[in-house]
Amino acid sequence: METGKTTALTAMLLALGLSGYAVAGKLDEVKKRGALKCGVSTGVVGFSAPDAKGVWQGFDVGMCRAVAAATLGKPMAVEFVPLTSKNRFSALASGEVDMLSRTTTWTYSRDIDLKVDFAGINFYDGQGFLVAKKLGVNSAKELNGATICVKTGTTSELNLADYFRTNGMKFDPVPIETDAEAIQQLLAGSCDAFSTDSSKLNAHRASLAKPNDYKVLPEIISKEPLGPLVKQGDPQWTDIVRWTLNALLTAEELGITSANVDRMAATSTNPEVRRLLGVEGRLGEMAGLPADWAQQVIRAVGNYGELFDNTIGANSPIGIKRGLNALWTQGGLQYSPPFR
């Protein structure tokens, strides 16, 4: 009797497991599956968090939806897999997710040693410190001997060690697993400072009960270029993700928004607009995507500026300024190669 239960369950497990047998080419796999598997965090304010109905929202989530819109035409056909900073790379390497959109920093060792490819930089960030104003600290150089909360398994802890060593200061690290823990400890005063990417610091600060009691210190102690990642070895897929990001940037450069994309597609005479939106040229075909893939992307999430503003920028409660993430024409670093 009991043997029956085991065999039944094993059979069902095998059936469910083998149903996902991989085929060559990530694009074909995604199309066959009918959904994109996207690795996100377990919950970071503004970047990826599920709302009360279980629908994921955020800047990184928008990037995933853009890729899904480009490849499948359906921005909601995304399966979000929440990953911790520990298992994110192994999930990508094993094929459990097709791409990782999880505020991951592009570094030498990750690119070369971990066999992943960074498909662009969708957020230029840097590591900073969030402190309570009560401490009376105005600069990171005054943090000698402080207790600092930092996430394990990230570039933040290594940068912190380097910064304090270079400046001849000491600090007391408190390893934490999630941002929520760090904020809780900062509020309770058991950490003097929280150190991570400053965009997240601003997001967290905006979501506190009394944001004016806390400030982000002016020093940015490292470069943190954040971007989507894919597994190494599938150039077509890497290109698709990269050029989806570039499509968002180019759309903002050319003034295409989700409101006017249909009108632009029908009436614009700008050759680059026409090439981007697939009205002329064969750009989509070259990548194995439908001709109107960029239209789908912009209709789904808007251009880069809209995505930024709606999730972490001016239209959201967080209110991060564009800063380095403005377009190159407006003093920022976001610059897309041409669609030609």
> What is the identity of the amino acid at 44?
V
Structure tokens at 238: 């890497």
144 vs 330 by CB, closer to other proteins? 144
Residues contacting other proteins: total by CB under 8 A: 87
Among 26, 204, 242, 275, binds other proteins (CB under 8 A): 204
Q: Which of residues 258-317 bind other proteins (CB under 8 A)?
A: 317
Q: Using CB under 8 A, which of the segments 9-17, 236-244, 283-291, 294-302 binds other proteins?
A: 9-17
Q: Using CB under 8 A, which of the segments 81-89, 241-249, 261-269, 331-339 binds other proteins?
A: 81-89
Smallest separation (angstroms) from other proteins to the CB of 331: 29
DSSP 223-278: EEEEEEEEETT-HHHHHHHHHHHHHHHHHHHHT--TTTHHHHHHH---HHHHHHTT
Among 30, 36, 38, 44, binds other proteins (CB under 8 A): 44
Report CA-CA distances (Å) from 249 to 97, 135, 336. Answer: 25, 40, 6
Q: Which of residues 148-187 bind other proteins (CB under 8 A)?
A: 152-153, 157-158, 160-161, 165, 172-181, 183-185, 187
Q: How many CB atoms lie within 10 A of CB 84?
A: 15
Smallest separation (angstroms) from other proteins to the CB of 234: 12
CA distance 47 to 203: 9
85 is a site residue for other proteins (CB under 8 A): yes
Structure tokens at 243: 């050029």
Distance of CA 34 to the CA centre of its chain: 22
Contact of 277 with 265, CB cutoff 8 Å = yes
Smallest separation (angstroms) from other proteins to the CB of 4: 5
188 is a site residue for other proteins (CB under 8 A): yes
119 is a site residue for other proteins (CB under 8 A): no
Among 133, 139, 189, 236, binds other proteins (CB under 8 A): 189
25 is a site residue for other proteins (CB under 8 A): no
CA distance 193 to 156: 13
143 is a site residue for other proteins (CB under 8 A): yes
Q: Which of residues 208-267 bind other proteins (CB under 8 A)?
A: 208-209, 232
Smallest separation (angstroms) from other proteins to the CB of 38: 11
Scan for tokens 């934490």, then name that residue.
176
> What is the identity of the amino acid at 300?
A
DSSP H helical ranges for 255-340 = 261-267, 271-276, 283-287, 293-301, 304-311
